[in-house]
Amino acid sequence: MNTQNENNTDALNPYNTISKAEFESRMATQEMDKELVTSKADIGSMDMEELTAYVLEKGWPKFRAKQIYDWLHKKFVANAEEMKNLPKDMRETLDGDILRVRMETKQESKSDGTIKFLFAMEDGQMIETVFMRYKYGNSICISSQAGCPMGCAFCASTIGGWKRNLRPSEMLGQIYEAMRLTGERISNVVVMGTGEPFRNFDHLIQAIRLLTSQQGYNLSGRNITVSTCGVVPRIYELAETGIPITLALSLHAPTDEKRKTLMPVAHLYTIQETLDACSQYFEKTGRRVSCEYSLMSGINDGPEDAKLLGQLLAKRNFHVNLIPINPVSERDFKATSNDAVLGFKNTLEKYHINVTIRRSLGGDIDAACGQLRRKYEG
């Protein structure tokens, strides 16, 4: 009987997320490790030790490694021809080992200055990046994969399917190119764009280490937020890295039953297992975990949902970020009314939970993840 019910898509999968069996197969396949195939050495993904080895292998003086690293990670140069303190023949060699991120198009909000970039990778894959201006500084939301394999029902990123993982230089390239194009520095990075960062874990960690290196951009780990659907083993692994970033959990439902209809990852890990992993992350790092909760009218925004979520998180040191959903044309989800959002917030606060309502930016452009890419690709 249970097997029959699990296969009944209409009964248990009203929002047409992928099935449990399909999702488990997708997560198990080795193809999930696919990345850009290139003959380039990809020096933008190398740390100082790796870059030094590369320089010595070329027969160049060791001190050239620091010069190259400075050009890549302090001056954000994407073309070796601009590295003027290097010999011409060295610049020509380096130019063939740099992966570039190129702007294809952009949209800029007339109301708040938010810019959504569509960047092209060297193999033609398109990824989205959002540059946001706040009073405290500029933030950027970057993608970790080209397309997304996670199949969340309400997200435009999953519609075109997953293509491949991004290399560290392709993640950093979004940040560096945005700063070059705007002429403004970035003080906060959120890995909350297209893709599941923990399905590209090793490259994610390398990108963060490069971004926080004192030899490079030297961004504080406390100014970096990584969002996950809840890949539990990777949450524990992140805690062991010792990198003090902010972890954000995409929760979006207060019960396993409801979460399974919205997020296929819930077939693999229960809410209890996921929250326990997040609590362990807090214990190991001292960094409070943020729970992201997208409010969808008539689906997960009712008084009972708020009560259940409050009971779920009441004894945990979590912060809740309520997100009125950005409507997506291919999905039939509607944003919660302002009154309902405030009511939801008030209920959570009765359980002594810290709650914020995310300020909506870029309302006059394709702000939701995947929208601009979908429009461009037709």
Q: What is the pLDDT of residues 149-190, one digit of tens each?
A: 999 998 888 887 889 999 999 999 999 999 999 999 999 999
The CATH topology of domain 102-377 is TIM Barrel (3.20.20)
Q: Are 376 and 104 in contact (CB under 8 A)?
A: yes
Catalytic site includes residue 278 = no
Class of domain 43-95: mainly alpha
Active-site pick, 148, 229, 278, 369:
369
Catalytic site includes residue 50 = no
Q: Where are the domains of the chain?
A: 43-95, 102-377
Structure confidence by residue, pLDDT tens digits, 114-133: 999 999 999 999 999 999 99
Q: Are 76 and 184 in contact (CB under 8 A)?
A: no
Q: What is the pLDDT of residue 168?
A: 98
Structure confidence by residue, pLDDT tens digits, 47-67: 999 999 999 999 999 999 999
Structure confidence by residue, pLDDT tens digits, 185-217: 999 999 999 999 999 999 999 999 999 999 999
Instruction: Provide, for the chain, the percentages of residues in helix, strand and coil under a 3-state DSSP scheme, each rounded to the nearest 5.
Output: 40, 20, 40
Residues 6+ positions from 107 with CB-CB distance below 8 Å: 115, 116, 362, 365, 366, 372
Q: What is the pLDDT of residue 33?
A: 67
Residues 6+ positions from 22 with CB-CB distance below 8 Å: none
- pLDDT of 2 > 50? The answer is no
Q: What is the pLDDT of residue 370?
A: 55
Q: What is the pLDDT of residue 372?
A: 61
Average the pLDDT over 64-77 and give the result: 98
Active-site pick, 128, 170, 177, 196:
128
Two domains, one topology: 43-95 and 102-377: no
Q: What is the pLDDT of residue 23?
A: 73
